[in-house]
Structure 1
Amino acid sequence: MKDTFRHQGKRQHLVEILKEKGITDKKVLTAINKIPRHFFMDSSFEDHAYQDKAFPIAADQTISQPYTVAFQSELLEVEKGDEILEIGTGSGYQTAVLCELGAKVYSIERQQELYKKTKLFLSKLGYRPKYLTFGDGYKGLPLYKPFDKAIVTAGAPYVPNPLLAQLKIGGRLVIPVGTDSQVMTLFIRKSAKEFEKKEFGEFRFVPLLEDKN
Structure 2
Amino acid sequence: MESFVSQIYFGDLLAGTDEAGRGPLAGEVVAAAVILDPQRPIVGLADSKKLSEKKREALFVEIQDKALAYAVASASIEEIDDLNILHASMLAMSRAVAALPIMPEHVLVDGNRLPVNLPCPAEAVVKGDARQAAISAASILAKVTRDRDIVKAAAMYPEYGFEKHKGYPTAQHLEALRLHGVTPIHRRSFGPVKKIIEG
**TM-score, normalised by the number of residues in structure 2:** 0.29
Structure with higher strand content: 1
Structure with higher helix content: 2
- Using CA pairs under 8 Å that are at least 6 residues apart, name the structure with larger relative contact order, 1 or 2: 2
**TM-score, normalised by the number of residues in structure 1:** 0.28
